Structure 1
Amino acid sequence: MAVSPPVCDFGAPWHDFALPGTDGRIYRLEDVTGPRGTLVMFICNHCPYVQSIIDRIVRDAAQMQRAGIGVVAISANDVADYPQDGPQQMKTEAARHGFTFPYLYDETQDVAKAYGAECTPDFFGYNADGELQYRGRFDASARRAGPADARPELLQAMLRIAETGNGPENQIPSMGCSIKWKTT
């Protein structure tokens, strides 16, 4: 069942974390922030909404990083019920797609809850002051990739945030699979 998160709560603060990455390091928010903004995205390995755009995410993340925007991906799914989203599989996924950003595992799901993440993918775009400025979709893609020339809404928003500190007023919410919360 597709889930769509709420619209952007402009100015909401980001949340610190200390999570293990697929490279074995522990990352804190300060390790991934960029001088001109930061994108925190919640993704996972098995979600068809993520898989339909994963190569576009990697492409656009590299452009954001060149523009001084920090990028990090976090997986928070319950791996007891979704073992394909576990840390070893995350490492394989990051290598297969050539992630240029850390891919972190939120085993307790506390970070996902702090951010209010609801689906995969769920994008949180912050300005250099750590204020939320974008919580919209990647582009017009859904369970299947949109057209190759789809307007890159996330990329355009993040580049605008890097330049002005402010995200676009009108944002279309992301859509994806619900985060697989632990039941115990």
Structure 2
Amino acid sequence: MAEQTPICDFGWQAPDFSLPATDGKTYSLEDVRGENGTLVMFICNHCPYVKSVIDRIVRDVNDLKAHGIGAVAICSNDAESHPEDSFDNMKLFAQEHGFAFPYLRDETQEVAKRYDAVCTPDFFGFDADLGLQYRGRLDESRKEAAAPDAKRELFEAMKQVAETGKGPRDQTPSMGCSIKWKAA
């Protein structure tokens, strides 16, 4: 079922985390923090919304590095109910798509809960002081990638954050598959 992210809660502080990555290391928020901002993305391997834009995500994260934006992707989906999102498959997914940013496993789903993540992809764009400035979409893509010349909404918003410390006031929510929560 498709979910949409809530409206940006400007200034909300990023919760810390310490999670294992597909590269064999463990990362905290401080480890991925950028000088001018930080992008925390909740994604997964199986979601058609993520699959349609993953190469654009990789492109935009790579381009944002030049603006002092750090980035991390987190998979919080229940791998028992969705084996395609297992840690081993995350490693393959990151390698296949050339991730130049950490891809972390949130096995307990506690990090997703602290961030109030609702879908994949779900983007949290923070300023240099880790205050939330962007909770919008990548671009106008849905289950199919948008046209190649689609406005790069996430990239432009995070570039603005890097330059001014503030995100755009008008943001279009991200849409994607719901987080696959473990049974209670």
Short-chain TM bin: over 0.9
- 1:100 — aligned with what? 100
Q: Partner of 1:180 in structure 2?
A: 180
- DSSP-derived class of the 1:156 partner: helix
> Deviation digits for residues 82-140 of structure 1, max 9, x if unmatched?
01101100000000000010000000000000001000000000000110000000000
Counterpart residue type for residue 105 of structure 1? R
Q: Which residue of 1 aligns with 2:44?
A: 44
Q: How many residues align?
A: 184
SS of the equivalent of 1:111 reads helix
Listed as ranges, the gaps of 5+ residues in structure 1 are none
Deviation per CA, 1:35-70: give whole Å up to 9, x if none. 000000000000000000000000110011121100
Provide the rounded CA distance (Å) in 1 between the counterparts of 2:5 and 2:156.
Answer: 20
Residue equivalent to 2:78:
78
Query: SS of the residue aligned with 1:53?
Result: helix
Runs of 4+ in 1 over 6 A off after TM superposition: none
For residues 137-166 of structure 1, what are the alpha-carbon distances to aligned partners after superposition, in whole Å with 9 as ceiling and x for unaligned? 000000000000000000000000000000
Distance 2:83 2:10 in 1: 35
What pairs up with 1:17-96 in 2 under 5 angstroms? 17-96=17-96
3-state DSSP of counterpart to 1:113: helix
Q: Which residue of 1 aligns with 2:166?
A: 166
SS at match of 2:139: coil
Name the aligned partner's letter for residue 175 of structure 1.
M
Q: Which amino acid aligns with 1:170?
A: D
Distance of 2:70 and 2:147 partners within structure 1: 27
Aligned-CA RMSD value = 0.5
1:109 counterpart residue number: 109
Asked whether 1:120 is paired with 2:132, we answer no
Task: Using the aligned pairs only, state the percent identity.
Answer: 61
In the alignment, the residues of structure 2 paired with residue 27 and residue 116 of structure 1 have an alpha-carbon distance, to the nearest angstrom, of 20
Paired residues for 1:140-159 under 5 Å: 140-159=140-159
C-alpha separation between the residues in 2 aligned to 1:95 and 1:124?
Answer: 23
What letter is aligned with 2:158? M
SS in 1 for 2:90: helix
Gaps of 5+ in 2: none
Aligned residue type for 1:88: D
